Amino acid sequence: MRLRYPCLVLDHDDTVVNSTASVHYPAFLDAMAQLRGGTDVTLEDYFRLNFDPGFVPYMRDEAGFTGEEFDREYEIWQSWVRERIPQAYPGVARIVRRQLALGGHVCVVSHSVDFNIRRDWAANGLPEPELVFGWEQPHERRKPSPWPLEEIMRRTGFRPAELLMVDDLKPGWEMARDAGVDFAAAMWAHHVPQIQAFMRANCSHCFEAPEDLYAWLFPEG
């Protein structure tokens, strides 16, 4: 069977694992409680601010975090991440295993950290991704920069048409667009109207569940 895309590039949070609701949002609430005395940002609001303007611009420009406060927020976030392993969405493992069984490649570009991504994959019984580019990269090399996808292509020798980026938020779409790579929207983590509307208006491929993505990637089963 010929693969639709020889190289599948997955976002991690809310694409492979259900992590924002179970880990990242509670960590955000903890940080805001310690550094700002609390916040009225809801889970839906949190998804929306990660979508646009993005977490760092929000914390810098709207929450007014200083460099020292960013450092403290990172420590709080990492303490939550170290102690909690999010669950993979049903159906994701089937996608990864089928891609690999057919001789394809699987990589990850995420705003989580390389170590935690690999830990989460192992804990959920997923084969280890070939390449991971996460938050440990310098700021200018994190998505939405196209650098991670360009580096994947440099290391694997694939052309842009041979990659598919799967992500649930705008930074992944922007990265894929700027790298000339096809994009598929993962719509299964949240149902925020602003995000849904943007994805449906701008993405050629939108999938409501991992099973739908599987059927499109591997139409012969």
Q: DSSP letter string over 202-215? A: H-SEEESSHHHHHH
What pLDDT, in 10s, does the model give residues 53-72?
Answer: 889 999 999 999 999 999 99
Written as one letter, the residue type at 130 is E
The confidence band for 219, taking pLDDT boundaries of 50, 70 and 90, is: very high
Q: Kindly indicate whether the domain formed by 7-19+88-217 is annotated with CATH number 3.40.50.1000.
A: yes
Confidence of residue 178 (pLDDT cuts 50, 70, 90): very high
Q: What is the pLDDT of residue 77?
A: 93
Whether the per-residue pLDDT at 1 is higher than 80: the answer is: no
For 22, 111, 151, 162, 175, the CA distances from 196, given in Å and listed in that order, are: 21, 20, 29, 26, 18
**pLDDT score of 41 more than 80:** yes
Query: Which strands sit side by side in the sheet containing 205-207, from one edge to the other?
Result: 131-133, 105-109, 7-10, 163-167, 182-186, 205-207
Is residue 63 exposed (0-12), middle (13-18) or buried (19+ Cβ within 10 Å)? middle
pLDDT greater than 80 at residue 116: yes
Structure-block tokens of residue 56: 């760092």
Q: What is the pLDDT of residue 89?
A: 98
Q: How confident is the model at residue 188 (pLDDT cuts 50, 70, 90)?
A: very high
Query: What is the C-alpha separation between 120 and 22, in angstroms, rounded?
Result: 13
Handedness of CA 50, 52, 56, 58 (dihedral sign): negative
CA dihedral over 182, 187, 189, 194, signed as positive or negative: positive
* Amino acid in the structure at residue 128: E
CA distance 79 to 73: 10
- Model confidence band, residue 221 (pLDDT cutoffs 50, 70, 90): confident
Q: What is the residue extent of each domain of the chain?
A: 7-19+88-217, 20-83
Residue 91 amino acid letter: G
Q: Are strands 182-186 and 105-109 parallel, antiparallel or unpaired?
A: unpaired
Cβ proximity of 26 and 80 under 8 Å: yes
CA 106 to CA 126: how far, in whole Å?
A: 11
Instruction: Please write the tens of the pLDDT for every residue from 7-16.
Output: 999 999 999 9
Express each pLDDT in 133-167 by its tens digit. Answer: 999 999 999 999 999 999 999 999 999 999 999 99
Instruction: Please name the residues in contact with 134: beta carbons below 8 A apart, sequence gap of 6 or more.
Output: 12, 108, 109, 110, 111, 112, 113, 114, 116, 117
Determine what percent of the chain is predicted with pLDDT higher than 70.
Answer: 100
